Amino acid sequence: MKKTLFVIKTLLLAFLLLSLASIPGGFVMGYSSTSNPGTSTDTPVFLTITLIGEIIVPIYLFIYYRAKNNLDALDIVMPFKKDKIAQKFGIGYLIGFLAFTIIFAIAVFGGGFTTKIIWSSKNIVLLVLMLIGFLIQGTTEEIVCRGYVQGRITEKLGIFWAIALSALFFASGHLGNAGVSLEGFVGLLAFGILTALLRFYTGDLWLCGALHGAWNFAEGPFFGTPVSGISGTELLFKSTSVPHHPWLNGGAFGIEASLTCIIVLILLSFLTVYLGQKYSDNKLDLN
């Protein structure tokens, strides 16, 4: 019973952290809608503000645990080791961007998307800001899901429960997004399991945070598809999903709801386990 209450408490606090992440962007968008009625907030500029505003969560957690002088707890919920930072970050970003690119290419060549170039050089600053913004947003979600939820639950219930619950929490956090479907939920669950495994085997959040940020940046600003149901981020390409091909393009929710994406994420998870069991100091008990 105590363990159940601990899990419920952890998930509720994690939900509050995600709610905190939305406050800066919500404030700006609310102010804009009030001062300029009719102004659309579904644009790259407003979405960039929302993304960057999510940095409030890691700042809050850092101040909270430092003020309590509880550095051990801080290392559990925000594990960022100081060794090989550039290497882990670079590998994570490369994996995230390439994985999405491969899935997107399969969808395009299979007739799942029509794509056109919309790039304008005047958007270069906005593109850089969105790159930074998605890194902040992706890393923040990893801090909450793979740091806070997975880290705390691992201590009480072990790594298998921690991976499962952190992935379920991550996927459930997107249930309110536009176009959400069962396939989209499964795709996000697969993504959550992959990043949870990466957090376990690497021992910190550098790699999975970079992967998450790169994936979302490739998905939205670069290739111009919905980011888990959120549209309006496209800057380089504009991709329109072709009806009757949801298994390739994921429909309105985006490519995470596609069968191709789910299969690739599952394969990457198996590859992660194989390499992790072989080379990592942290190993799952698979017996």
pLDDT tens digits for range 221-238: 999 998 887 877 889 999
How many CA atoms does the CB half-sphere of 246 hold within 13 Å? 12
pLDDT in tens, 25-68: 778 777 666 766 665 556 777 788 888 889 999 999 999 999 98
How big is the chain by its Cα radius of gyration, in Å? Answer: 19
Instruction: Assess whether pLDDT exceeds 80 at residue 250.
Output: yes
pLDDT at 287: 67
Helices (H), the chain: 2-21, 23-35, 44-53, 56-67, 71-77, 85-109, 124-142, 150-157, 159-172, 182-202, 206-217, 246-249, 259-279
Average pLDDT, the chain: 91
Residue, of 1 and 205, whose pLDDT is higher:
205
Residue where the block lists tokens 């050089």: 121
Q: Decide: pTM greater than 0.85.
A: yes
Cα→Cα distances 48→61, 137, 242, 274, Å: 22, 10, 27, 37
Q: How confident is the model at residue 3 (pLDDT cuts 50, 70, 90)?
A: confident
Q: What percent of the chain has pLDDT over 70?
A: 95
pLDDT digits over 131-175, tens only? 999 999 999 999 999 999 999 999 999 999 999 999 999 999 998
